[in-house]
Structure 1
């Protein structure tokens, strides 16, 4: 069974916010969604084009002096209905996380413990950087006067909990690895 592409729903949802251009959408993704939903810049414009073709969005083109034409998108009533329908559907399955560190760790009997320790330490640093980024996002949006604010904060809270769990896992794993190294 083919897996559904949820990018169209993400972009339809973003069109219900202040995001009206592909650039606005990319900025919002980079500031918020990227921590739990990856959408590449190369997916945005083809998806917007398809949404317009499917009459789920409209586009208005404005000529700009000395710049490329500006395309602003609006979600249509049909687009709102589709988004609403999708929002009401149950979650089909738990997401499968692809994690390079865990893949390497799974096969780590084939490398030196010092290498594994280094990799877990790097991962812990990246998780701490993610934590700092989540705090910065949280601080920046707390001043927003958006009807979406409570829901945005809930997604940040989820990210903070997952990141905290990852950092704690790193600390426990590093302790185990250091014990293993001492045994050798």
Structure 2
């Protein structure tokens, strides 16, 4: 359903667009604090689910699964103390996912899928950026989200003001 067929009050759209713009500006200006807080909140939620899952299934799981729980718990506590560690881990995981297909494309010499080649190449660059400078990578991601929110808010504000 197109947005033009929805009946919204122009004041509501005006408030939403201003909130999006303001939120984007706050994300851009306070990227350092927002990134650390967001990761810590996500890790706390993950730890809550992890502890609940361990409590409910501990007597039924194997030793290998218990070891996996211990590793996940340790990594979460470390990520809670140093949120940059999370970006380092994300960089390693991204590298593990995008490097093999990129190497296969290069080995085969079939460059017909340029979109896949560009996406995998960008993924490799971002993964190295996360691994080498994880703190700056976290700030960069938050700034990019802030830019997207600001642009979306400004476009919605423009659309709201011109459609009246």
**Given the two structures, how large is their TM-score scaled by the length of structure 2?**
0.32
What TM-score do the two structures reach when normalised by structure 1?
0.29
The structure with more strand, counted as a fraction of residues: 1
Higher helix share: 2
